[in-house]
Structure 1
């Protein structure tokens, strides 16, 4: 973690210096008349987007929420490994790891063939495969996760905070307006209930749930089907003789349905998803008047001979499984994409809904806006043309389809009764087999973006076989040269909208003046064709847009920091202080060798270009200067 770059200041280093001229947020202060970005909804998608944009005080961001405050309990709970990698970029992954329940093993229970009215354990599966990520799969109260984003916003240079008790009622887009073309009518849901205000915005993002008014305003509809199956969910404090209550469990009974157990943070609380009744084609779950008592009774029937003695129901809800996806993720029709750029977007449940049992809803929602946030920042700060924003729908729609299709299959397997061969142990149960096959997906690690201006053709993939172009950058251990600190290389990336170039040195390269790393750094720093020179403004730090980091094969005691090129020890900030944290080398204490773990070509080395949302955009030889310049020129504007 780096601070003091602009001078010493005591106190919490997470609290950034406040930007001048920020909005008056005192009670009774008027709402702004114009904003750059208006976000509807303070769920995971909305807060993830707001947190990113809060780091850009030059972007006027507003986030509205009809509720009077942050939620307290309930709703989603699972955070997969990919989202934990994203949390690292926001700086609160360690706090999340400390406070949460880690899902290490998943156990599976089925009817006992010798006593079909009861259940028995039939298998265990390691929940996070070895070296799939340095991060755990965790469970957390969604309200706490919201709070972490809210604190990040509060501590940002813009001091961003939600406007509670305001919801989007309608919006209109003026196609002829170049600035603030979206007029949003906000409705007061608080003390002055029903009163309206209008705010004009350059961009609007609807993170306002499955009944999204933003989606409706742009003519979007959710399409899909329902499983016509009622499920209950409850967070409970209870005593039980069920032995695996502190492990994630998938339980299927002979005739009573299924239960999913998810232990929660704090050591005592756990969540149960309980299968209830099948619904008729024309029936909605609300018509059945299910209660928490129905759920508890059903859970005890399913888990026999074990029992659950519930002491407190912290939160509960009844829902019906549905799998739906919006026909559009922004306001532009397919035929208009060459002539118009989007102004209104939807994210999260506003554009895709599914069952909660695969634990993907909150994760995919945040990944939607983690994808969109840096693109909006690029456009609004003049680094990229507005056409860049087309890539949001192009990339995230495909992932939403994958989510809905996979969840559709998983939900039906979860609800299907066991076959006799499964009960007799003649074949592996389908839900164990499917769970294992889905591990990469449920970890959030299956995302792969197609070739585009942001994701290059994998011409040089052989230089880094374990870092696939289009997938997220897979971190591995390194040692920082300046202070011999063991760390994960991927943890240098922050949610700050910057691109990263990780330059891996070839064999024998110690960054002497004639080496490939030294030549690359010198070219990036001074050549007129360099993307660093071309896309960085004169008044900015040299790594403000593109951040170069170098990794060497030697151990820290075999390299000389003084031999490193100046781009790898740049001077930054108001005081012109040297940044000592750009150079890394092989781990010398056995944590792992990056080159071996990720298939980096030892003889030649390579460059790995990583997007601001941690996905690999390109892999190039160390001397591919023209290709590197051409790649960045495909979407970045000259400074």
Structure 2
């Protein structure tokens, strides 16, 4: 028998869905191809990956993160941009304020809508972007074994992964420094690493059917909820390419009518679920029935070399449409951290913040999802202590409204700590460490062309030091600590370090930033002509502030202008970066 070939990689990503593709894409972009190797495998052939169905919705924060990776515009070209919602009671009358109504109040972002695009089309965009970075998805290849060499130091080729081509029987061995399991709810990585998957599955089942339809529903091209007395809180979602998704609870009473539940039965029940409205499927693209449950992996990072992301480390219902969004947050959080550690720029301790930051947010989602999934199946939450006869649809509306900023992603935050999200002794901004950095409109120098903060801070595994300079006539003395006392030889401006500077002046642009400051400003210059950026961040024009934006667009720390701010930056980055002989503090 031929011995399997042995090859080496810095990272092996298992799973070719959106989470695996986005993780691999970040690594491929940020790591020099001549020095690093990234591989990604998927056990299903491409024809299976291209099927319809699966996830459909990206909420604003996910779109922002993909925008900073240069992918959102391509998604927007094909998506259905959903800004309108409607809720119908059991009689077909509009009942405002329930269902998905929170989606109409997703503000403070350019991406103030639900970007609806089926996973099939999203994956195609991500695969092409990955290919342009020199990495191709290898399929079908299945992970069959994992061994971690305990006697090899962290950062070495500690992981031995055995993979198999299921069609040809060819075996390969990949020795890698890090293994990432993005291979779904039945994750081979999680199973082979013996990582417990805590939680449970319920007896509840839901059905989803996608296709092209005819209907008399008054507002069919919306995100719609129908309060059905027989099929729970029915999902009606307008999809890309003119299609529609219908989702309903498949209750035990309905299941009794079918010995075999097939496509014909799924369509029949979909038609019944939307009554009193009519529904006809001109074309069925995809359908599924699945069991509702919630589970969380015991560990997201194991043995200092194996990560889990997306459904591999957390599963839940599709009730709040958070599955792919949560996986995107995992991928983006992990991608830049691993990129910096692999290059030797950041301390390996940085990798432990992946689980520390993502796990609490996954737990928040699971708690919401447990309530939402029961309410959508016409049951009150298990923890419910109110009126036992309460209207489940009214309670669902309250829970969805409470979870609104979490669902949109704009309110997702990371807890303050002493490492990445560091609160300084004095606060100079209403936006605090661990919070999303709001996207604000800025003006470019000379042309006064409008741009946005997220446009000028792409996610390329670099931190951004943002000087909110305020009114320079009032803050020039404070600014001098940065414009005069940090020489080009200082590590904070050294080109070897993953740090970029941005200066934002409060007020209309002048003919020359140099003349405004009587010297060269720090980094790229932008103007805040209408004062909206300073106001959104709560920065006083006479005080200013300096913020560190993490590569993923969250605020790392906030400090005062002046010498104190300079010292705060040095303390902040000293924890994160590795300094060689030429880059000492």
TM-score (norm 1): 0.82
| Structure 1 counterpart of 2:399 | 434
Distance 1:76 1:31 in 2: 36
Distance 1:96 1:425 in 2: 41
Distance 1:200 1:545 in 2: 28
SS at 1:122's partner residue? coil
| 1:403 matched to 2:365 | yes
Distance 1:130 1:168 in 2: 40
Query: Structure 1 or 2: larger helix share?
Result: 2
1:608 to 537, 544, 547: 547
How far the C-alpha of 1:37 sits from its partner, in A, is: 0.4
| Structure 1 counterpart of 2:383 | none
Distance 1:345 1:560 in 2: 46
| 1:187 matched to 2:126 | no
Q: Aligned ranges for residues 187-586 of structure 1 at < 5 Å?
A: 187-190=164-167, 192=168, 194-266=169-241, 268-278=242-252, 289-332=260-303, 342-416=304-378, 429-459=394-424, 462-465=427-430, 467-509=431-473, 515-526=477-488, 528=490, 530-533=491-494, 536-537=495-496, 545-557=498-510, 560-561=513-514, 565-566=519-520, 568=522, 582-586=524-528
How far the C-alpha of 1:270 sits from its partner, in A, is: 0.8
Alpha-carbon distance change, 275 to 129 in structure 1, aligned in 2, over 3 angstroms: same
SS at 1:120's partner residue? coil
2:110 to 110, 134, 145: 134
Distance 1:551 1:183 in 2: 49
2:74 to 89, 92, 95: 95
TM-score (norm 2): 0.89
2:93 to 106, 120, 130: 120
Moved more, 442-451 or 237-246: 442-451
8 Å Cα contact 2:6-2:172 kept in structure 1: no
Distance 2:536 2:493 in 1: 29
Alpha-carbon distance change, 369 to 242 in structure 1, aligned in 2, over 3 angstroms: same
Alpha-carbon distance change, 295 to 461 in structure 1, aligned in 2, over 3 angstroms: farther
| Structure 1 counterpart of 2:41 | 64
| Structure 2 counterpart of 1:617 | 556
2:64 to 80, 85, 96: 85
Moved more, 493-502 or 595-604: 595-604
SS at 1:232's partner residue? strand
How far the C-alpha of 1:596 sits from its partner, in A, is: 1.7
Distance 1:82 1:88 in 2: 10
Alpha-carbon distance change, 102 to 202 in structure 1, aligned in 2, over 3 angstroms: same
SS at 1:54's partner residue? helix
Alpha-carbon distance change, 438 to 560 in structure 1, aligned in 2, over 3 angstroms: same
8 Å Cα contact 1:107-1:123 kept in structure 2: yes
Structure 1 gap ranges (5+):
1-29, 113-118, 333-341, 538-543, 570-581
8 Å Cα contact 2:470-2:534 kept in structure 1: no
Distance 1:552 1:545 in 2: 23
Distance 1:426 1:173 in 2: 53
Provide, for residues 336-376 of structure 1, a one-character-per-residue CA deviation record: whole Å limited to 9, x for no partner.
xxxxxx11111111110001121111111121121111111
Provide, for residues 402-444 of structure 1, a one-character-per-residue CA deviation record: whole Å limited to 9, x for no partner.
11111111111211269xx99x999982222222222101111
| 1:637 matched to 2:578 | yes
| Structure 1 counterpart of 2:567 | 626
| Structure 2 counterpart of 1:12 | none
| 1:177 matched to 2:152 | yes
SS at 1:189's partner residue? coil
Provide, for residues 109-164 of structure 1, a one-character-per-residue CA deviation record: whole Å limited to 9, x for no partner.
2223xxxxxx32211535142533221321012122112222222222xx111111
Distance 1:171 1:279 in 2: 44
| 1:51 matched to 2:12 | no
| Structure 2 counterpart of 1:111 | 90
8 Å Cα contact 2:442-2:526 kept in structure 1: yes
How far the C-alpha of 1:256 sits from its partner, in A, is: 4.1
Alpha-carbon distance change, 427 to 262 in structure 1, aligned in 2, over 3 angstroms: closer
Alpha-carbon distance change, 343 to 509 in structure 1, aligned in 2, over 3 angstroms: farther
8 Å Cα contact 1:104-1:126 kept in structure 2: no
SS at 2:90's partner residue? strand
| Structure 2 counterpart of 1:573 | none
Provide, for residues 488-536 of structure 1, a one-character-per-residue CA deviation record: whole Å limited to 9, x for no partner.
112212221000111101323499xx543354144344364x5334xx5
Moved more, 288-297 or 405-414: 288-297
Moved more, 595-604 or 554-563: 554-563
Distance 2:513 2:499 in 1: 24
8 Å Cα contact 1:323-1:408 kept in structure 2: yes
SS at 1:147's partner residue? helix
Provide, for residues 553-576 of structure 1, a one-character-per-residue CA deviation record: whole Å limited to 9, x for no partner.
12124654555654646xxxxxxx
Alpha-carbon distance change, 567 to 602 in structure 1, aligned in 2, over 3 angstroms: closer
Structure 2 gap ranges (5+):
381-385, 581-585
Distance 1:636 1:560 in 2: 31
8 Å Cα contact 2:300-2:355 kept in structure 1: yes
Provide, for residues 180-223 of structure 1, a one-character-per-residue CA deviation record: whole Å limited to 9, x for no partner.
11100001123x1x332111000000011111111112211211
Distance 1:485 1:471 in 2: 28
Alpha-carbon distance change, 352 to 301 in structure 1, aligned in 2, over 3 angstroms: same
Alpha-carbon distance change, 64 to 426 in structure 1, aligned in 2, over 3 angstroms: closer
